[in-house]
Amino acid sequence: MKRLLSVVLLAVLSGSCSTMKSKPSSNVQPPAPGVPAVAEDVTGIYRSVHQGLLQLRADGDYVLIVSEGPGPTSGSFTLSAGRMVVYSEECGQATGDYDVVVTGEQEAGKAVLTISAVRDDCEDRRKYLTIDPWIYANS
């Protein structure tokens, strides 16, 4: 009986381990299509077709790196009902207003974040946030 219990326990553990191997754990949560309501809806790392990188953090911080741009920049943002307000030191006290929408599928490599300028006097920030669509990447 003891031996049978050991064999059954080993089979159960082996089955659960193989299940874990086939489905790796991940903290990636691609954004859902539509108009994002809050910052957490678009949190993650995005890449552009021109090798740009945009990281949006749930705490409202962002990092933007574009190869032809002024180098890495960072700042903060708020997001409410698809309207993003952006601040960065490089642009002084000026904030920028943008509309944000997610299209595609809720999957890394297929979810696309499009940022459109509503008003921003900071030319570099406006140019590099809106130059390309941003594609959600596995982080």
Question: Mind listing the pLDDT tens digit for each residue in 36-72?
Answer: 999 999 999 999 998 899 999 999 999 999 988 778 9
Q: Is 14 a member of any domain?
A: no
- With CA atoms as reference, report the closest residue to 102 among 116, 112, 90, 87: 112
- How much is the pLDDT for 71? 82
Q: Is 3 a member of any domain?
A: no
CB 60 within 8 A of CB 39: yes
CATH number for the domain harbouring residue 53: 2.40.128
Range(s) of the domain holding residue 43: 39-137
| Structural domain count, the chain | 1
Question: Mind listing the pLDDT tens digit for each residue in 92-113?
Answer: 999 999 999 999 999 999 999 9
**pTM for this model (two decimals):** 0.78
- E strand segments, the chain: 44-47, 53-56, 61-65, 73-80, 83-88, 95-104, 111-119, 134-137
Distance (Å, whole) CA 103 – CA 61: 23
